Amino acid sequence: MTAASPAGYIGRSVPRREDRRLLLGQGSYVADLVLPGMVHAAFARSQLAHARIVSVDFARALAEPGAVFALGGAELAREMPPIGGMQVTAPKGWAERVDHRITLPPQNLMASDRVRYVGEAFAVVCADSRYAAEDAVEAIDAGFEPLPAVVDPEAASAPDAAVIHPDLGTNAVAELHVEKGDVAAAMASAPHRIRRRIRHHRYAAMPLECRGVAAEYDRRTDSLTVWSSTQVVHWVRKELAFALGMAEEKIRVLAPDVGGGFGGKGHVYPEDLIIPWLARRIGRPVRWVEDRHEHILNAAHSRDNIHDAEIGFDDTGRILAFRDDFIVDSGAYSPVGAGVAYNTTAHLLGPYHIENFAGGTVVAITNKTPNAPYRGAGRPEAVQVTERLMDIVADTLGMEPADVRLRNMIGPERMPYDVGLPYRDGVPMTYDSGDYPASLRRAIDEIGGIEAFRERQEKARAEGRWLGLGLGCYTEGTGVGPFEGATVKVDASGKIVVSTGACPIGQGHETVFAQVTADAWNVPIEDVVVLLADTSTLTMGYGSIASRSTVTSSMAIGDASDKVKAKVLAVAAHLLEASEADLELRDGRVAVKGVPDMAVSLREIAAAAAPGWLSRRPEGSEAGLEATSYYEPPTVTWAYASNAAIVEIEPDTGRVRIERYVEVHDAGRLVNPGLADGQVKGGLVQGLGGALYESIEYDEAGQLLTGSFADYLLPTAAETPPIEVVHMETPTPLNPLGVKGLGEGGAIAPPVVIANAVTDALKPFGVEFNTLPIRWQDVRAAFDS
Amino acid sequence: MTAKRSVTVTVNGETRTGEAEPRMLLSDFLRDTLGLTGTHVGCEHGICGACTVHVDGEAARSCLMLAVQADGAEIETVEGLADGETLHRLQQLFSKHRALQCGFCTPGMLMTALDLVRHRPNLTEAEIRSGMAAVLCRCTGYEGIVHAVAEYASGGER
Ligand code: FES
Ligand code: FES
């Protein structure tokens, strides 16, 4: 028979299920939801970085036409506790191995006695329209007594600094230290040592859709339905149940279409709890949609580290010791704890074998918007440090940067490789698979080779043109736990219905999980229904953060499918009066091998397995074709990449023009290569934005200077160069599909790749670009130095 | 708040009337008053281009116009592109070239691209990139969008 087998969807660029509705303008985002009787919420947000709240008076606000309800932070604090926080508790293996002191500040849902950053909400108003709600916010009479703003993270950690959370007694709310080998001795005896200060600036996820939450309370059943533009519906539900004292099953949280997230929607925000509380309190549906200014003020920022790094090496470029102490500017709160800070430490060693290492971290509270994970989540900062140092080592020794990297790289023969540090899940870090040197060589080949470039570079310099080559390599722990869930069932129609805790933000999850499921069941992909981002379809889920969904949801779907398939075969064997060993699942039917006519369809099997008088299941077996699995990954699987870029600098303007940009990326087996490619490229362009354009800036009073898209510059199609991505596919041995995570990878390397390329281009001027972003002013200034 | 006025527009060939305060943005009028939520709002200050529609045949940012200014105008939105169940060719090309991920920028991208191709024959890639720079996309890195617009522009359908 030549009939195409439906299997084999994995590995094909299957077109997206999501596209049609989105292209037609029929996507449904939170701002598109209209609920009968709905009111609109707007928040009053602090215009001061640090101040005591003296008074909040709603008399004029409530007199505004259309105003329905108003509430201050102090009253809300009496009704609802602060958010619990998810990543605050450290896994055991981590806590034993990493010296740590963590005392994170609680975050009230709205400021009650003090505001701690510009943009922090201190009151909320509901009104008949968004316009009326904003009018009412303007009419709130609030009095503040300004306090000194703590803006600089180093000054914040000094013993004499004003303390932003007085109960904690310090702004240095977390300190971490981890070490392997003997760094002090190895550093002291190293033939060469260099020290550098390296800064990674503050920028943010900046999804094109701002955040939004809508909620409806049903008095009859005492239940809540909440729509949030979030990556973590189950986490939102958990916090809501706790805050409102309700059973989880009385709360349904859904993420409708979400217009990007990139980690910026990856934790529970105060508004996720406040809007549902308001809906229950007022007895009318409530919708809140953030505007862009509010988003830049209030949605989490990210990165923002200062590193003091030292590296010891010999004449051949072998790294003997590496030490990095850094400070993270956490902003006024720390919504996900010290996880991102430690993630930076865990990624400092990258693809290199370095025996002696120490990493120390201080997380400092300042009067700025809270810092939380954004695509890369601590890794771009680490990779900037290590990859700048690799270039500086090369420069010190007069070597090619590529040679220093290859000299220290872990070869494929050493896999699996024990790094000697714990990962943030508490498990010892073990690079599971891959060929790091091959990826670097490939990136260099793709860009035309080092020698050819150096010749061009030299000729160009003679003509007064400035070309530079930048490299950047990294490893990336992906598919982190603790778990993900999936429920798989064969419903009465014979379709395979899958639900999982993944919350799509544009990646194409509906398509990818349909591929995974269709292959698991050997059915046409049209027979798979995928339900996502809805707590009513799955009891426990985790969400889409940290490059984890393809790994963790796929495994949970596979496990649950195995359980249901075992039942399907048992029922089919009973119906066909055959032995299970003689049966095969194909095209939505179970047939006797070699006798395709002896078959029953999944629909018939579902009917036979159903409870009731007509049931025809084997004696003693349970009714129904449904199973739930919770996949708990043993640890992360390690993706990696090598990048190479060629830039040309315009001396007159300081503009950095990117001539070529190549990333050789390995995320194991790719479920949908086209979508994987899109993820990596989209991430790379975000990284280029971080390298050259995007920056969140504050003045010394803690006022945000970049509160609009006219100030916070996202890359457009015009600045974005064509990007080349080569996919290596080394399957991981850690899961049966061989897949690794890839959502974040692209965003990790470009900042340092461009910094290296610009430094290389301007080598004759002796300027190092160790601070991001790379501004045209600084580039221009190099020519005058 | 000031008294509402009646605003009548022709949207995607259909005459629609609604009430709007003079300060109401055209984007809000389309989305909230007329229920055409395909047009998205990403910044409300004229930079992101997600809200782009055609007003009397020209691309316009509906967040930078008041509804009352559009009284009597012909407006095209993303909802008007498909022919029944059949996607517009540009919509098909967006899917083919993976020019969308989250889809939030997509309506603005489509309306901007149609305007660009209509006004500029024989577009080069550089011209497409600078023309499409009117709309921000945070997801795709633009490559698929540029390819989709290039294929559409070369297909002679203007
Ligand atoms: S919403 Fe109109 S340009 Fe951004
Ligand atoms: S597809 Fe998400 S912003 Fe363009």
Give me the amino acid identity at A507.
Q
- Distance of alpha carbon A382 from alpha carbon A350, whole angstroms: 9
When scoring A510, A679, A716, A725 by the number of chain B Cβ atoms within 10 A, the one with the most, hence best to mutate, is A716
**CATH of range B5-80; options 1.20.1250.20, 3.40.50.720, 3.10.20.30, 3.50.50.60:** 3.10.20.30
Which domains can be identified in chain A, with CATH numbers?
19-25+481-631 (3.30.365.10), 378-476+637-782 (3.30.365.10)
Closest C-alpha to A192, from A316, A308, A313: A313
A491, exposed or middle or buried, with CB in 10 Å at 0-12, 13-18, 19+? middle
Cβ distance of A720 and B129 shorter than 8 Å? yes
Cβ distance of B98 and A675 shorter than 8 Å? yes
Among the bound ligands, name the one nearest to the CA of residue B138: 2
Give the pLDDT score at A158.
87
Q: Is 50 exceeded by the pLDDT of residue A5?
A: no
Domain boundaries, chain B: 5-80, 89-155
Closest approach atom of ligand 2 to CA B100: 1
For residue A221, give both structure tokens.
């059943």
Give the pLDDT score at B88.
98
- Distance of alpha carbon B53 from alpha carbon B77, whole angstroms: 5
pLDDT, one tens digit per residue, over A764-784 is 999 999 999 999 999 999 998
Q: Is 70 exceeded by the pLDDT of residue A2?
A: no
CA dihedral A89, A94, A99, A102 (to 10 degrees): -10
* Alpha-helix runs per DSSP H in A88-217: 92-97, 130-138, 153-157, 183-189
Q: What one-character DSSP code corresponds to residue A512? A: H
Cβ distance of B38 and A24 shorter than 8 Å? yes
Residue A552, H or E segment: helix A549-576
Confidence of residue A217 (pLDDT cuts 50, 70, 90): very high
Q: Side by side, which strands form the sheet with A357-365?
A: A99-102, A172-180, A357-365, A319-331, A302-313, A192-203
Cβ distance of A717 and B41 shorter than 8 Å? no
Among the bound ligands, name the one nearest to the CA of residue B144: 2
Q: What one-character DSSP code corresponds to residue A352? A: B
B31 touches ligand 1 (CB under 6 Å): no
| DSSP string covering A453-498 | HHHHHHHHHHTT-EEEEEEEEEEEEES--S-EEEEEEE-TTS-EEE
Q: How far is CA B58 from CA A558, A770, B30, B118, B158, in A?
A: 51, 46, 17, 10, 14
Contact residues for A359 (Cβ-Cβ < 8 A; gap 6+)? A176, A177, A178, A179, A323, A324, A325, A326, A345, A348
* Alpha-helix runs per DSSP H in A220-298: 233-244, 270-282, 292-298
Contact residues for A689 (Cβ-Cβ < 8 A; gap 6+)? A203, A713, A714, A715
Average pLDDT over residues B124-141: 98
| DSSP string covering A721-757 | PP-EEEEE----TTSTT-B---SSGGGTSHHHHHHHH
- Distance of alpha carbon A411 from alpha carbon A352, whole angstroms: 9
Q: Side by side, which strands form the sheet with A656-666?
A: A466-478, A637-649, A656-666, A724-728
B88 backbone dihedrals φ, ψ, rounded to 5°: -60, 150
Closest approach atom of ligand 1 to CA B61: 2
Cβ distance of A25 and B78 shorter than 8 Å? yes
**Is A506 near chain B, with CB under 8 Å?**
yes
Ligand 1 center to B61 CA (angstroms): 6
Give the pLDDT score at A7.
65
Q: What one-character DSSP code corresponds to residue A128? A: S
Give me the amino acid identity at A97.
R
Ligand 1 center to B33 CA (angstroms): 18
**Superfamily of structural domain B89-155:** [2Fe-2S]-binding domain (1.10.150.120)
| DSSP string covering A654-678 | --EEEEEEEEEEE-BS-SSHHHHHH
Ligand 2 center to B8 CA (angstroms): 31
Confidence of residue A3 (pLDDT cuts 50, 70, 90): very low
Give A210 to chain B, closest Cα distance, Å: 7
Give me the amino acid identity at A685.
V
Grouping H, G, I as helix, E, B as strand and the rest as coil, residue B146 is helix
pLDDT, one tens digit per residue, over A571-618 is 999 999 999 999 999 999 999 999 989 999 999 999 999 999 999 999
Q: Is 90 exceeded by the pLDDT of residue A92?
A: no
Residue A305 in contact with residue A381, Cβ under 8 Å? Answer: yes
A596 backbone dihedrals φ, ψ, rounded to 5°: -60, -20
Give B131 to chain A, closest Cα distance, Å: 8
Q: What one-character DSSP code corresponds to residue B29? A: I
Residue of the nearest CA to atom 4 in ligand 2?
A: B137
Give the pLDDT score at A784.
85
- Distance of alpha carbon A63 from alpha carbon A140, whole angstroms: 10
**Is A14 near chain B, with CB under 8 Å?**
no
B138 touches ligand 2 (CB under 6 Å): yes
pLDDT, one tens digit per residue, over A452-488 is 999 999 999 999 999 999 999 999 999 998 999 999 9
| Nearest residue in chain A measured CA to CA from B130 | A718
Q: Average model confidence (pLDDT) for chain B?
A: 96
A23 touches ligand 2 (CB under 6 Å): no
pLDDT above 70 covers a percentage of chain A that reads 98
Give A23 to chain B, closest Cα distance, Å: 6
Closest approach atom of ligand 2 to CA B109: 4
pLDDT, one tens digit per residue, over A497-533 is 999 999 999 999 999 999 999 999 999 999 999 999 9
pTM of the model: 0.97
Closest C-alpha to A545, from A255, A294, A306: A255
When scoring B79, B104, B114 by the number of chain A Cβ atoms within 10 A, the one with the most, hence best to mutate, is B104
- Distance of alpha carbon A539 from alpha carbon A194, whole angstroms: 53
Contact residues for B19 (Cβ-Cβ < 8 A; gap 6+)? B4, B5, B6, B7, B33
Grouping H, G, I as helix, E, B as strand and the rest as coil, residue A428 is strand
- B87 neighbourhood in chain A, CB within 8 Å: 20, 23-24
| Nearest residue in chain A measured CA to CA from B108 | A25
In the block, residue with structure tokens 């691309």: B59
Cβ distance of A292 and B132 shorter than 8 Å? no
Give the pLDDT score at A319.
98
- Distance of alpha carbon A84 from alpha carbon A92, whole angstroms: 19
In the block, residue with structure tokens 């943005």: B25
Confidence of residue A88 (pLDDT cuts 50, 70, 90): low
In the block, residue with structure tokens 């950690």: A157
Q: What one-character DSSP code corresponds to residue A720? A: P
Establish whether this prediction's ipTM goes over 0.95. Answer: yes
Residue A41 in contact with residue A275, Cβ under 8 Å? Answer: yes
Q: What one-character DSSP code corresponds to residue A582? A: G
Contact residues for B124 (Cβ-Cβ < 8 A; gap 6+)? none
Average pLDDT over residues B79-108: 97
Q: At what angle do helices A602-609 and A549-576 cross, to 10 degrees?
A: 80
Q: Average model confidence (pLDDT) for chain A?
A: 96
With the most atoms of ligand 1 within 8 angstroms of its CB, the residue from B48, B132, B137 to mutate is B48
With the most atoms of ligand 2 within 8 angstroms of its CB, the residue from B43, B98, B100 to mutate is B100
Confidence of residue B1 (pLDDT cuts 50, 70, 90): low
A261 touches ligand 2 (CB under 6 Å): no
Size of interface A-B (CB pairs under 8 A): 172
Average pLDDT over residues A159-187: 95
**Is B147 near chain A, with CB under 8 Å?**
no
Contact residues for B93 (Cβ-Cβ < 8 A; gap 6+)? B99, B148, B149, B151, B152
Residue of the nearest CA to atom 3 in ligand 2?
A: B137
Q: Which of residues 3-62 of B touch A (CB under 8 A)?
A: 21, 23-24, 28, 31, 35-45, 47-48, 50
- A674 neighbourhood in chain B, CB within 8 Å: 98
- Distance of alpha carbon A735 from alpha carbon A559, whole angstroms: 11
In the block, residue with structure tokens 């579902």: A606
Ligand 1 center to B48 CA (angstroms): 5
| Domain B89-155 in the same topology as domain B5-80 | no
Closest C-alpha to A516, from A571, A562, A568: A562
Give me the amino acid identity at A191.
P
Give the pLDDT score at B157.
44
Confidence of residue A218 (pLDDT cuts 50, 70, 90): very high
Cβ distance of B95 and A15 shorter than 8 Å? yes
B134 touches ligand 1 (CB under 6 Å): no
Give the pLDDT score at A85.
56
Confidence of residue A1 (pLDDT cuts 50, 70, 90): very low
pLDDT, one tens digit per residue, over A254-296 is 999 999 999 999 999 999 999 999 999 999 999 999 999 999 9
Closest C-alpha to B61, from B13, B35, B28, B87: B28
Cβ distance of A717 and B42 shorter than 8 Å? no
Closest approach atom of ligand 2 to CA A506: 2
Q: Which of residues 126-165 of A touch B (CB under 8 A)?
A: 130-132, 135
Give the pLDDT score at A69.
98
B105 touches ligand 2 (CB under 6 Å): yes
Q: Which of residues 58-87 of B touch A (CB under 8 A)?
A: 77-79, 81-82, 87
- CB nearest to A682's CB, from B47, B91, B140: B140
Q: At what angle do helices A436-446 and A401-408 cross, to 10 degrees?
A: 160
Lowest mean pLDDT, pick from A148-162, A199-213, B45-59: A148-162
Ligand 1 center to B42 CA (angstroms): 5
Helices and strands: H and E segment counts in chain A? 21, 29
Give me the amino acid identity at A286.
V
- CB nearest to B100's CB, from A22, A131, A262: A22
- Per the rule left: phi > 0, alpha: psi between -120 and 50, beta: everything else, A328 is beta
Residue A694 in contact with residue A775, Cβ under 8 Å? Answer: no
Q: How far is CA A100 from CA A169, A172, A175, A359, B60, in A?
A: 17, 12, 6, 12, 55
Residue A508 in contact with residue A675, Cβ under 8 Å? Answer: yes
Contact residues for A737 (Cβ-Cβ < 8 A; gap 6+)? A10, A516, A554, A555, A558, A669, A671, A731
Closest approach atom of ligand 2 to CA A209: 3
With the most atoms of ligand 1 within 8 angstroms of its CB, the residue from B25, B26, B43 to mutate is B43
